[in-house]
Amino acid sequence: MIRKELFLAITIAIGGLFSWACSNNNGSDPVIEFSDEANDSILKLMKANYCWNLPTETPDIMMNSDAFFKKLLNSKDTVSWIKLIADIPTATTAYDIGFEYAANRYDDGKTYYAILYVKKGTKAEKVEIERGYLITHVSPTGLAKDTIAVTKDNYNTLLPNCITSGKQFSILYRRPGSGEAASTFNPEDVAVSPSKVQDPLYYSNADIFPASGKKIGYIVYNHFLSAGTYLSPLISKLNEFKNQGVETLILDLRYNATGGYDYLSALGSSLVKTQDQGAAFAYLAREDASKDIAYKFSTDKTIQNLGSQLESIYVITGQSTAGPSETLIHALRAYWGDKIVITGEDMKGQNLATSNQVAIKLSDGSSKWAVKIALGHFADKNKNYSYRTKVNNELKEINTESGTKTQLKPLGDIKEYVLKGTLEEITGLTIDPDKRSAKVSNWPSPVEYLGSSIKSEQGTISIDNLRP
């Protein structure tokens, strides 16, 4: 208070001089903006929630808020930011073509988009585009004369730019054993509400391989967003697995690239072998350990403990697996040890959680600045947040080393390459490939992986939802 009163007195004393100086520069000098109230709010937010300890010496509270915020950041921090709210675009429309894809270079010298999975209820599903199809050309206008081949130079922009163009476009794709086909998309086919979130429970089966004589449950779960909508159905599915006698669980998180952490406590309660209601399943760990936040097992009595009857858990991961999905795996490892087995491809190693976008509110209710901050590293029950990203058994669905012409079979098909390898490891049995369709003589083999439409991101937590 003394500082503010002193500043007010000084401001009154020099106000006329300051105005005179500005007017004598013909208005060309930038207006100096004092942001002590905003900076005070920023400082309180950072003290309460930031991953790292703040500098011993607090920056000048009268600095511009952008400079003030940046002086508070730790040198290890690469994710926190401050922006003028006026500079943050407000999205009224999001775009989704209805499938995820990977761009690869093939042994025929060409580059294609390979369809990884098709989302339910989309135009892509309605026109019967399937996993494994190869997109060879794109027409930004939908006209044949404007068709452009996918190449190593344009794969990163050709299809994405068409999807967000707000115009009609078409894709030409190869289908194994069925020749080529084309599909045209209108703007309304790809425009979706920014708040719309696709159901992450893509596939489930409580007895994926009956011939093995073991009850093996299989779930494909593609993100950890919107827990308020999608956590309950997932818990219901796991409860069903318990009631149906599932002995081994395969959790397929190969496309699970982002989300929040509101799933953690409930999933821990369902999946650990044994639990102590007072214990933590995971921690949000800070540099100052006194600020660590425990994510304890859920007290929701509708969550049944599937883990108590499981012999083991297998998790399928991919190049996109990151954030909350990695945290779940890491936390489960501390409880299951070598009875949790990771197959697929190495993970990203993203253990840092960030806040949502937070508006810095002033006393009059207005906000000029917004920030996003690093909140902490997610750790297991032992407060270890050094994630092991390597898999136990590498199974690449797009294998650039083997020269295989095997197709990307549907997710949930026991002859799908990654699921097949996982099931063979669990059971010790050999699953014969489908001789009729596993290979196509003129089908190209991938030789270089270029990228994917699935973008891995740090998991986020709403500041308002941080647990005390």
CATH number of the domain at 218, please. 3.90.226.10
pLDDT by residue (tens digit) across 185-222? 999 999 998 888 999 999 999 999 999 999 999 999 99
Q: Are residues 184 and 224 in the same domain?
A: no
How far out from the chain centre does Cα 306 lie? 25
- What's the total number of domains in the chain? 2
Q: Is residue 467 part of a domain?
A: no
Q: Of 164, 191, 218, which residue is a domain's last?
A: 191
One domain, residues 391 and 330: yes
SS (H, E, C) 59-75: CCCCCCHHHHHHHHCCC
Closest CA relative to residue 335, chosen from 389, 390, 270, 394: 270
Residues 123 and 232 in one domain: no
Q: Is the pLDDT of residue 14 over 90?
A: no
Residues 275 and 126 in one domain: no
The pLDDT value given to residue 405: 56
Supply 296's token pair.
């304890």
Answer whether residue 390 is part of any domain: yes
Question: pLDDT tens digit string along 332-341?
Answer: 999 999 999 9
Domain end (from 167, 191, 215): 191
Residue 151: give the domain boundaries: 99-191
Query: In this structure, are residues 258 and 349 in contact, taking their beta carbons and an 8 Å threshold?
Result: no
Q: Is 216 exposed, middle or buried (0-12, 13-18, 19+ CB in 10 A)?
A: buried
Nearest to 265 by CA among 467, 460, 51, 464: 467
CATH of the domain at 107: 2.30.42
Confidence check: pLDDT of 12 > 60: no
pLDDT at position 91, please? Answer: 75
Q: In 153-226, which residue ranges form alpha helices assigned H by DSSP?
A: 158-163, 187-190
Q: Are strands 446-452 and 99-106 parallel, antiparallel or unpaired?
A: antiparallel
Note whether 154 and 284 are same-domain residues: no
Q: Is residue 14 part of a domain?
A: no
Q: Do 169 and 267 have their domain in common?
A: no
Note whether 290 and 419 are same-domain residues. yes
Query: Given the structure tokens 């092991």, which residue do they identify?
Result: 388
Q: Say if residue 141 is in the same domain as residue 256.
A: no
Residue 64 lies in a domain: no
Domain check: are 159 and 214 in the same one? no
- Give me the pLDDT at residue 330, please: 96
Mean pLDDT of 154-164: 98
Looking at residue 436, its pLDDT comes to 43
Please state whether beta strands 460-461 and 352-355 pair in parallel, antiparallel, or not at all (unpaired).
parallel
Given a cut of 80, is residue 244 above it in pLDDT? yes
Burial 137-168, CB ≥16 within 10 A → b, else e:
bbbbebeeeebeebeeeebeebbeebbeeeeb
The answer on pLDDT for 43 being more than 60 is yes
The reply to whether 395 falls in a domain is yes
User: What pLDDT does residue 36 have?
Assistant: 86
**Domain-terminating residue out of 162, 191, 220:** 191
Q: Is residue 85 part of a domain?
A: no
Question: Residue 148 falls within a domain, yes or no?
Answer: yes
On whether residue 56 sits in a domain, the answer given is: no
| 205 and 187, same domain (yes or no) | no
Residues 99 and 127: beta-carbon distance below 8 Å: no
Mean confidence (pLDDT) of the chain: 89
Residue 305 has pLDDT above 90, yes or no: yes
Q: For the purposes of burial, counting CB atoms within 10 Å of the CB of 235, is it exposed (0-12), middle (13-18) or buried (19 or more)?
A: buried
Q: What is the pLDDT of residues 44-91, one digit of tens each?
A: 999 999 999 999 999 999 999 999 999 999 999 999 999 999 999 887
- Neighbouring CB atoms inside 10 A of 325's CB total 31
pLDDT single digits (tens) 403-452: 555 678 999 999 999 999 999 999 999 998 765 444 556 889 999 999 99
Whether 23 has a pLDDT exceeding 60, the answer reads no
